Amino acid sequence: MPNLLSWVVIGFIAYAFLNADTGFINKTILAGLGLDPVSWYSYTGAWPAIIIIVNLWKNMGYQSIVYMASISGIDKSIYEAAAIDGATKMQQIFRITLPMLKPTVITLTLMSIGRIFYSDFGLFYQVPQNSGALFNVTQTIDTYVYRGLMELNDVGMSAAAGLYQSLVGFALVLIANGIVRKADSENALF
C-alpha cells in the first residue's frame, strides 16, 4: 500500500509521527517513557536512520510483489519431485527457490546499481519537509539540482550535476553488467 502513495502523503505521515509538538513519537512514546520531546526536524543525528526506515517501509511492498511473482512462476512439479525425493522445506528453499530467483535478483540489482546516484527526490525533499537545518544530511544530487534551479537560478550547474548523475549511473550499469556477463552470461542484461 505505501508504494501507491505519493511522497507528499508519506511526508505528512512522517510529520504526524515526528512533529515536535503533536507528533506520535513525542506525545505517546517519549512521554510514556518520561523522556523529553525531541525536535526531529532540527536534530540531524536521527535523519539517516529515519530516511532508511521510511524508504524501506514505502518500497517493501513493491519488492515483495516482484519476488512473490517470481516465486509463483516456478513450476510446482519441481517442488513435488523434490518432496518425493525426500527434500525438506529448507532444502527446497536453498536448492530450488533461491537458484530460480537468481535472474530476478540479478536484474533488480543491475537496475538498482544504475540508480545509485539517483536519490528519490520525494524522500529527501518531502519527508524532511525541506528543513534547512537538515540540508547537510538530506542534500542529494536531485535536491541540489532542484534547489539550484528554483532558488539559485543556476541552470548551468544544475544541468552539469544532472548530466554527471546520468553518466556515472550509466557507466556503473555497464560495469556491473560486464561483471555479470563474465560470471554468468545467461543472466546479463545485454
What pLDDT, on the 0 to 100 scale, is given for residue 112? 86
What is the distance between the terminal CA atoms of the chain, rounded to a whole angstrom? Answer: 33
What is d(CA 146, CA 94) in angstroms, rounded to the nearest whole number?
A: 45
Which portions of the chain are predicted below pLDDT 50?
none
Sign of CA dihedral 141, 144, 148, 149: positive
pLDDT tens string 32-77? 999 999 999 988 999 999 999 998 898 888 888 999 999 999 999 9
pLDDT at 142: 87
Return d(Cα 84, Cα 76) in angstroms, integer.
Answer: 12
In the prediction, which pLDDT does 171 show? 92
- What cell does 101 get? 530467483
Q: How far apart are CA 48 and CA 3, in angstroms?
A: 20
What pLDDT is attached to residue 110? Answer: 86
Model-level pTM? 0.75
pLDDT at position 1: 65
Report pLDDT for 67.
Answer: 92
